[in-house]
Chain A
Amino acid sequence: MVLIGVGIVIIGFLLRLNSLLVVTVAGIVTGLVAGESPYQILVEFGKAFTVNRYMAIFIATLPVIGLLERNGLREQAEVLVSKMRAATTGRLLTLYLFIREVAAALGLSAIGGQPQMVRPLVAPMAEGAAEAKYGDLPDDVRQTIRAHSAAVDNIGLFFGEDIFIAVGAILLMNGFFQQNHISANPILMALWGIPTAISVFLIHSTRLYLLDRALKRRLGNHVDVSTISMREGMPK
Chain B
Amino acid sequence: MIITLEAVYSFLGIITLLGSVYTFLDRKNIRRFTSGLFYLLYGTTLLLGKILPPALIGIFVMIMVVIAGFGGLKLGHYGENSSEQRESSRLRLKNRLFIPALLIPILTVIGSEGLIGVKWFGLYLFDPKNVTLISLGVAALIALVVGLMITKNSPITSIKESRRLLEAIGWAAVLPQMLATLGTLFDRAGVGKIVSHLVVEVIPAHSLFWAVFAYCVGMALFTMVMGNAFAAFPVMTAGIAIPLLIGHFGIEANRIAAIGMFAGYCGTLLTPMAANFNIVPAALLDLKDKNHVIKIQMPTAILLLAVNVMLMYFVAR
Seen from chain A, the residues whose Cβ lies within 8 Å of a Cβ on chain B are 2-3, 5-6, 9-10, 13-14, 16-21, 23-24, 26-27, 30-31, 33-34, 39, 41-73, 75-76, 79, 106-108, 114-115, 118-119, 123, 143-144, 146-151, 153-155, 158-159, 162, 164-166, 168-177, 179-180, 182-190, 192-193, 195-196, 199-200, 203-204, 207
How far apart are B264's CB and chain A's nearest CB, in angstroms? 9
B90 near A175 with CB under 8 A, answer no
State which of B91, B180, B268, B284 has its C-beta within 8 Å of the C-beta of A175: B180
| In the complex with contacts A76-B98, A119-B285, A2-B181 CB distance below 8 A | no
Closest to B100 in A: A64
A106 near B102 with CB under 8 A, answer yes
State which of A69, A79, A164 has its C-beta within 8 Å of the C-beta of B161: A69
Tell me if B3 counts as interface (CB < 8 A to partner A): no
A23 near B175 with CB under 8 A, answer yes
| In the complex with contacts A3-B194, A46-B57, A162-B261, A70-B80 CB distance below 8 A | yes
State which of B89, B104, B230, B277 has its C-beta within 8 Å of the C-beta of A61: B104
| Given A45-B62, A147-B282, A159-B304, 18 extra CB contacts under 8 A | A13-B273, A20-B172, A20-B175, A21-B68, A27-B181, A44-B185, A49-B178, A50-B45, A51-B184, A63-B140, A67-B161, A70-B86, A71-B90, A150-B296, A165-B108, A166-B108, A180-B238, A199-B307
**Given the complex of chains A and B, what is the CA–CA distance between A172 and B236 in angstroms?**
13
B231 near A70 with CB under 8 A, answer no
Query: Which chain B residues in 74-131 approach chain A with CB under 8 Å?
Result: 80-81, 83, 86-87, 89-91, 93-95, 97-98, 100-102, 104-105, 108-109, 112-113
Tell me if B207 counts as interface (CB < 8 A to partner A): no
B46 near A53 with CB under 8 A, answer yes
Q: Which residues on the B side are within 8 Å of A67 (C-beta)?
A: 100, 144, 147-148, 151, 153, 157-158, 161
**Given the complex of chains A and B, what is the CA–CA distance between A52 and B181 in angstroms?**
7
- B interface, by DSSP: helix, strand, loop or mixed? helix
How far apart are A28's CB and chain B's nearest CB, in angstroms? 9
B176 near A172 with CB under 8 A, answer yes
A151 near B194 with CB under 8 A, answer no
Interface residue range, chain B? 35 or more
Q: Which residues on the A side are within 8 Å of B295 (C-beta)?
A: 147
A30 near B46 with CB under 8 A, answer no
| In the complex with contacts A180-B238, A200-B300, A42-B12 CB distance below 8 A | no
B55 near A176 with CB under 8 A, answer no
What 1/0 flags go to B237-270 for Cβ under 8 Å of A?
A: 1100010001000000111111101100100110
Q: Which residues on the A side are within 8 Å of B176 (C-beta)?
A: 55, 168, 172
A-B CB contact pairs (8 Å), 25 listed: A5-B182, A5-B191, A16-B275, A27-B181, A42-B58, A45-B58, A48-B180, A55-B176, A56-B9, A59-B12, A63-B162, A66-B162, A72-B97, A76-B98, A107-B104, A147-B295, A150-B296, A154-B293, A155-B269, A158-B265, A159-B262, A159-B304, A166-B108, A166-B136, A204-B300
| In the complex with contacts A146-B287, A170-B258, A9-B226 CB distance below 8 A | yes
A196 near B307 with CB under 8 A, answer yes
Tell me if B16 counts as interface (CB < 8 A to partner A): yes
**Given the complex of chains A and B, what is the CA–CA distance between A170 and B176 in angstroms?**
12
How far apart are B269's CB and chain A's nearest CB, in angstroms? 6
| In the complex with contacts A60-B11, A63-B161, A33-B238 CB distance below 8 A | no
**Given the complex of chains A and B, what is the CA–CA distance between A159 and B304 in angstroms?**
10
Q: Which residues on the B side are within 8 Å of A118 (C-beta)?
A: 281, 284-285
State which of A62, A71, A166 has its C-beta within 8 Å of the C-beta of B165: A62
Seen from chain B, the residues whose Cβ lies within 8 Å of a Cβ on chain A are 5, 8-9, 11-12, 15-16, 45-46, 49-50, 53-62, 64-65, 68-69, 80-81, 83, 86-87, 89-91, 93-95, 97-98, 100-102, 104-105, 108-109, 112-113, 132-133, 136-137, 140-141, 143-144, 147-148, 151, 153, 157-162, 164-166, 171-191, 194, 225-227, 229-231, 233-235, 237-238, 242, 246, 253-259, 261-262, 265, 268-269, 273, 275, 277-278, 280-282, 284-289, 292-293, 295-297, 299-300, 303-304, 307-308, 311, 315
State which of A57, A155, A196 has its C-beta within 8 Å of the C-beta of B136: A57
Q: Which residues on the B side are within 8 Å of A187 (C-beta)?
A: 109, 112-113, 132
Which 9 pairs, one residue from A and one from B, show the smallest C-beta to C-beta distance?
A: A66-B161, A72-B90, A193-B258, A42-B58, A46-B57, A21-B69, A46-B54, A46-B58, A62-B162
| In the complex with contacts A10-B225, A46-B56, A76-B90, A62-B166 CB distance below 8 A | yes
